[in-house]
């Protein structure tokens, strides 16, 4: 079987990496395409995957540039998939669905964003895709007939205990303190980030002051250049090691939705300070069903300060969150095992999931 996988974001690489390994071990040919985005290409290289970059330059952050880049990617994916003679294409980008539609081959759209959050992208993607494979809590708007819901999260594709074991020796290469927090600053330039605010410099400084007063070291991970007054806190690591550092941290404070979900998968307390708070189904479930994350809108900065103080003052909070994590894991499946089965048996697997969705519990 020939499988084409397109990666548009570091989180999509992490989701796909174990799937790719397993598909290759099972004897399938897998071709990886990607675009230049943050540390995506660096991560693919670190993991020694062969790939092709179909968008070498970062696009400008305006609607025309976004649409033009998407059109060009569709042409590239169409041409490469045609020459590769792909049997199936997987990814979250509109180019995947559109190219597959033109070639009359199946396209699997894998994401965990709600239709209402990514409406523009969805309108360019969902009409052309074959199956929308998403966590069961995600809404897909008018395309419910194409939805394959599963009991899990994309981040469990690489942070499920079957797939990831935290390694303290990796942490010790960078951090000697037993008590530390991570602040994650997102770039907020995606198509759905328009008019979305997050952490600012003054608020970050307040959080750092609180943490240091409680005896914690603070490290900042950022997609973009950070203010010169914060450079001494900047975390400089092999980016493939970030999940090991997160695993042993006491708290994540972030305006990144992706890293907040990752923290929940690891049982690490997280506070996301963003205008997306209260709007994303995956994070709402993690917050309200499992109490594994806290969302605060940017109009309530004092609430952020209070919550940071409370969490860092509670010596039992780490054990409590690990208990909550175990409850979450008991309800969910091994997403990588499920996805490999779904791809290898498509389209019969989609039919099975429609008729007997409980079949997925074979992949716990």
Question: Residues 193-246: pLDDT tens digits?
Answer: 334 478 989 999 999 999 999 999 999 998 788 899 999 999 999 888 999 999
Same domain, 179 and 155: no
For residues 117-143, average pLDDT: 96
The reported pLDDT for the residue numbered 64 is: 61
- Between 20 and 189, name the one with better pLDDT: 20
Same domain, 196 and 323: yes
Give 222-243 as a DSSP string: ESS---GGGGGGB----GGGHH
Same domain, 243 and 319: yes
CA distance 22 to 119: 32
Same domain, 322 and 178: yes
The reported pLDDT for the residue numbered 70 is: 83
Residue 339: domain span: 2-160+333-363
Band of residue 89 on the pLDDT scale cut at 50, 70, 90: very high
Quote the Cα angle for 322-333-147, to 5°.
125
For residues 102-123, average pLDDT: 95
pLDDT in tens, 288-320: 999 999 999 999 999 999 999 999 999 999 999
* pLDDT greater than 90 at residue 340: yes
Give 84-117 as a DSSP string: HT-SEEEESSHHHHHHHHHHT--EEEE----TTT
* pLDDT greater than 50 at residue 111: yes
* pLDDT greater than 50 at residue 171: yes
In the chain, the number of structural domains is: 2
Token code pair at residue 274 = 């963003």
Same domain, 6 and 155: yes
* pLDDT greater than 80 at residue 335: yes
CA distance 167 to 201: 32
For residues 129-133, average pLDDT: 98
CA 116 to chain centre: 18
Of 124, 127, 130, nearest to 148 by C-alpha is 130
Same domain, 208 and 314: yes
CA distance 37 to 158: 20
Same domain, 200 and 339: no
Same domain, 139 and 178: no
Q: Which residues pair with 306 in a beta bridge?
A: none
Band of residue 265 on the pLDDT scale cut at 50, 70, 90: very high
* pLDDT greater than 60 at residue 188: no
Q: Output DSSP code: residue 59.
A: P
Helices (H), 85-125: 94-103, 119-125
The reported pLDDT for the residue numbered 191 is: 38
The reported pLDDT for the residue numbered 69 is: 79
- Between 109 and 275, name the one with better pLDDT: 109
Same domain, 11 and 128: yes
For residues 151-156, average pLDDT: 98
pLDDT in tens, 31-41: 999 998 888 99
Q: Which residues pair with 80 in a beta bridge?
A: none
The reported pLDDT for the residue numbered 195 is: 42
- Between 172 and 70, name the one with better pLDDT: 172
CA distance 231 to 32: 35
pLDDT in tens, 55-66: 877 666 666 667
* pLDDT greater than 90 at residue 132: yes
Same domain, 136 and 257: no
* H or E, element range at 23: helix 10-25
The reported pLDDT for the residue numbered 192 is: 37
Same domain, 322 and 359: no
Helix, strand or coil for residue 250? coil
The reported pLDDT for the residue numbered 60 is: 64
Cis peptide bond upstream of 286, omega within 30: no
CB 341 within 8 A of CB 348: no
Same domain, 63 and 144: yes
What residues have CB less than 8 Å from 336, skipping those under 6 apart?
A: 18, 19, 22, 157, 158, 160, 162, 163
Percent of the chain with pLDDT over 90: 82
Look up the CATH number of the domain holding residue 323.
Answer: 3.40.50.2000
The reported pLDDT for the residue numbered 186 is: 80
For residues 335-343, average pLDDT: 98
Q: What's this model's pTM, rounded to 2 decimal places?
A: 0.91
The reported pLDDT for the residue numbered 57 is: 72
* pLDDT greater than 60 at residue 183: yes
């Amino acid at each position: 079987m020939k499988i084409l996988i397109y990666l548009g974001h570091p989180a999509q690489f992490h989701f796909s990496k174990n799937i790719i390994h397993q598909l290759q071990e099972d004897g399938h040919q897998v071709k990886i395409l990607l675009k230049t985005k943050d540390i995506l290409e660096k991560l693919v290289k670190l993991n020694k995957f062969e790939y092709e970059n179909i968008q070498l330059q970062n696009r400008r952050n305006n609607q025309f540039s976004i649409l033009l880049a998407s059109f060009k990617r569709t042409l590239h994916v169409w041409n490469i998939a045609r020459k590769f003679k792909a049997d199936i294409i997987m990814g979250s980008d509109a180019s995947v669905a559109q190219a597959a539609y033109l070639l009359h081959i199946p396209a699997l759209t894998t994401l965990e964003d709600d239709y209402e959050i990514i409406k523009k992208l969805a309108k360019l993607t969902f009409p052309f895709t074959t199956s929308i494979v998403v966590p069961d809590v995600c809404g897909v708007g008018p395309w419910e007939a194409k939805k394959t819901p599963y009991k899990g999260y994309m981040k469990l594709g690489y942070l499920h205990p079957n797939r990831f074991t935290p390694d303290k020796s990796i942490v010790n290469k960078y951090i000697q303190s037993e008590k530390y927090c991570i602040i994650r600053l997102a770039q907020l330039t995606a198509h759905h980030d328009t008019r979305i605010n997050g952490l600012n410099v003054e608020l970050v400084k307040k959080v750092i002051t609180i943490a240091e007063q409680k005896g914690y070291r603070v490290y900042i991970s950022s997609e973009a250049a950070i203010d010169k007054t914060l450079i001494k806190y900047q975390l400089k690591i092999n980016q493939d090691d970030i999940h090991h550092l997160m695993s042993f941290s006491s708290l994540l404070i972030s305006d990144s939705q992706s890293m907040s979900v990752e923290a929940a998968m690891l049982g690490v307390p997280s506070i996301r300070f963003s205008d997306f708070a209260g709007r994303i189904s995956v994070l709402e479930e993690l917050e309200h069903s499992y109490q594994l994350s806290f969302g605060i809108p940017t109009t309530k900065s004092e609430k952020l300060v209070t919550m940071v103080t409370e969490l860092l003052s509670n010596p039992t909070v780490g054990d409590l969150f690990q208990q909550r994590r175990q409850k979450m894991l008991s309800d969910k499946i091994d997403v990588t095992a499920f996805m490999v089965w779904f791809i290898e048996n498509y389209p019969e697997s989609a039919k099975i999931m429609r008729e007997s969705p409980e079949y997925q519990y074979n992949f716990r």
